[in-house]
Amino acid sequence: MELQFNSEFWWGAATSGPQSEGRFHKKHANQYDYWYETKPEEFYNYVGPDTASNFYNSFKEDIALMKEVGLNSVRTSIQWSRLIDDLEEGTVNEDGVRFYNEVIDEFLKNNIRPIVNLCHFDIPIELYQKYGGWESKYVVDLYVKFAAQCFRFFGDRVVDWITFNEPIVIVSGGYLSQSHFPKLKDGKKAVQVAYNLQLASAKCIELFRKTNKNPNGRIGIILNLTPSYPATNNEEDQKAAQFADLWANRLFLDASIKGEFPEELLQILKKDNVLWKTTYEELKIIKENTIDYLGVNYYHPHRVQKPAVSSNSLAIEWTPELYYNDYDMPGRRMNMDRNWEIYPQAIYDIAKNIKENYGNIPWFVSENGMGVSREERFLDEKGVIQDDYRIQYISEHLYWLKKGIEKGSNCFGYHMWTPIDCWSWSNAYKNRYGFISNNISTQIKTIKKSGYWFKEVAESGMIRMPDEWKSFEKLENKKTI
């Protein structure tokens, strides 16, 4: 079976400043630099962001490798902690401007479209220490000053801007599950941070619309969508899945595309006395400044069942899990290294949802990928990692994406996480996702089998699905890679 995509389709990959550049010549530490400085034991094998994949020093060679694996578009992010000197005034750092200018020019020289994101979780640590980071609306305004400098210095060449990557992860990782800095457990703060992030995105879009001079310029947001599937058809499980969808998906989807938060969510947050502080003027900015296009990060679905605790229990601190519980569906297909379910069909459900409920806005898959640990297990005698599992993973997701496109969904591209194995927060270098491997002791980078394969896919716009994979056409769900 062959899947043919149109000739305009984006074949690319995504990375971010904090995960690839390394800390070289940065005036400010971001919160991850600081977290590693103070608690290195919380990072897998004690590996921090100091070198990452050395992109600051080797971006020319790295971009040449990206070209070699056929990427026609690549997302990275500008680090606030690198570009800005004086955080209050928003003045720029000369070396930061030089660096990002050269990176953008190098992408363009290689015919790779740079997609530029303004925040991939990272924020200068001083803004946490002084103001509580995204808990503060003053920080929202400082972020807009930073964005203004990005548009001013790079807007002549960058066409595709992104305001945030995965804002819900900043909320849930930082303020609920304690997997990201500042590692708090505070439902009320989580809710305010979610609102402040949406406000920051809308204010940034407002500024972009006022200042952008590039006729093709556009601005979007990247959301990690986790379609919620109830454990059973029972009313309680279905209600739980609806809430999980409201919280994890619709909060930012509705606000970013429709300019309004979902009413059902507002009612619940109000009832529980945790609703964010807002003003009429802010809501107007959110309403009037919606996105031009959407990026969807998809890794896994969310299987949901009724909550374990009752939402009436006043003794319990507010958490979205008052309304649902995760469900370990028996027999589901897992990537055991990352402990994430593999369920490619969800991409079709996402495509359908965007088409039917979000005005069929133009969108692309901005991250998808398979993190595998100890990939040296798969080295062949020529030193190439034989990552057939990744080729199959990508193909299956593209199979369902293609089905969504055939039904009319307005998807224009696919980006894999990530071009070159990069550093990943507290998981550091545990799981590798790249088309290109990185030996973190020597920084020697080598194309994997999937990289050579992707080049052919990108050049032909076509995927060949071997017959033995046919089983996934039947929505079969038990196969393990």
Tokens for 416, please give them. Answer: 């894999």
C-beta of 19 vs 305, nearer to ligand BGP? 19
C-beta of 224 vs 392, nearer to ligand BGP? 224
* Residue 398 neighbours by CB under 8 Å, 6+ apart: 3, 5, 414, 463
Task: Please tell me whether residue 303 binds ligand BGP under the rule CB under 6 A.
Answer: no
As measured in angstroms, the least distance from the Cβ of 425 to ligand BGP is 6
Query: What letter would DSSP give residue 75?
Result: E
* Maximal CA-CA distance, the chain: 65
Task: Please tell me whether residue 417 binds ligand BGP under the rule CB under 6 A.
Answer: yes
Contact between 131 and 188 under an 8 Å Cβ cutoff? The reply is no
Residue nearest to ligand BGP (CB): 424
Task: Please tell me whether residue 431 binds ligand BGP under the rule CB under 6 A.
Answer: yes
CA angle 97, 98, 102 (to 5 degrees): 115
C-beta of 35 vs 417, nearer to ligand BGP? 417
Task: Please tell me whether residue 55 binds ligand BGP under the rule CB under 6 A.
Answer: no
Contacts from 96-100 at CB under 8 Å and sequence distance 24+? 96/26, 96/27, 97/153, 99/25, 99/56, 100/153, 100/154
C-beta of 303 vs 338, nearer to ligand BGP? 338
As measured in angstroms, the least distance from the Cβ of 175 to ligand BGP is 16
Q: Which of 282, 367, 375, 396 is catalytic?
A: 367
Is 4 in a helix, a strand, or coil?
strand
Return the range that interacts with ligand BGP (CB under 6 A); candidates 57-65, 162-170, 206-214, 320-328: 162-170
Task: Please tell me whether residue 165 binds ligand BGP under the rule CB under 6 A.
Answer: yes
Active site residue 459: no
As measured in angstroms, the least distance from the Cβ of 311 to ligand BGP is 28
Task: Please tell me whether residue 75 binds ligand BGP under the rule CB under 6 A.
Answer: no
Return the range that interacts with ligand BGP (CB under 6 A); candidates 23-31, 211-219, 235-243, 422-430: 422-430
Decide: residue 475, CB within 10 A, 0-12 exposed, 13-18 middle, 19+ buried: exposed
Query: What letter would DSSP give residue 289?
Result: -
For residues 455 and 433, give the distance between their C-alpha atoms in angstroms, rounded to a whole number.
Answer: 16
For residues 285 and 173, give the distance between their C-alpha atoms in angstroms, rounded to a whole number.
Answer: 27
C-beta of 297 vs 305, nearer to ligand BGP? 297
Question: What's the count of helices (H) and strands (E) in the chain, helices before strands?
Answer: 16, 21
Question: 222 forms bridges with which residues in the sheet?
Answer: 165, 295
CB atoms within 10 A of CB 434: 30
For residues 30 and 123, give the distance between their C-alpha atoms in angstroms, rounded to a whole number.
Answer: 5
Of 17-46, binders to ligand BGP (CB under 6 A) are 19
Q: Which residue in this structure is represented by tokens 């938060």?
A: 261
As measured in angstroms, the least distance from the Cβ of 418 to ligand BGP is 7
Of 319-378, binders to ligand BGP (CB under 6 A) are 338, 367, 371
* The one among 54, 149, 196, 224 contacting ligand BGP by CB under 6 A: 224
Count of residues engaged in binding ligand BGP, rule: CB under 6 A: 15
* The one among 177, 214, 427, 460 contacting ligand BGP by CB under 6 A: 427
Active site residue 2: no
For residues 66 and 451, give the distance between their C-alpha atoms in angstroms, rounded to a whole number.
Answer: 9
C-beta of 321 vs 367, nearer to ligand BGP? 367
Task: Please tell me whether residue 16 binds ligand BGP under the rule CB under 6 A.
Answer: yes
DSSP for 315-332, written as a single string: TSPP-GGGS-EE---TT-
Q: Which of 21, 106, 135, 166 is catalytic?
A: 166
* 341, containing H or E segment: strand 340-341
Which residues contact ligand BGP by CB under 6 A?
16, 19, 165-166, 169, 224, 297, 338, 367, 371, 417, 424-425, 427, 431
Q: Which residues are catalytic?
A: 166, 367
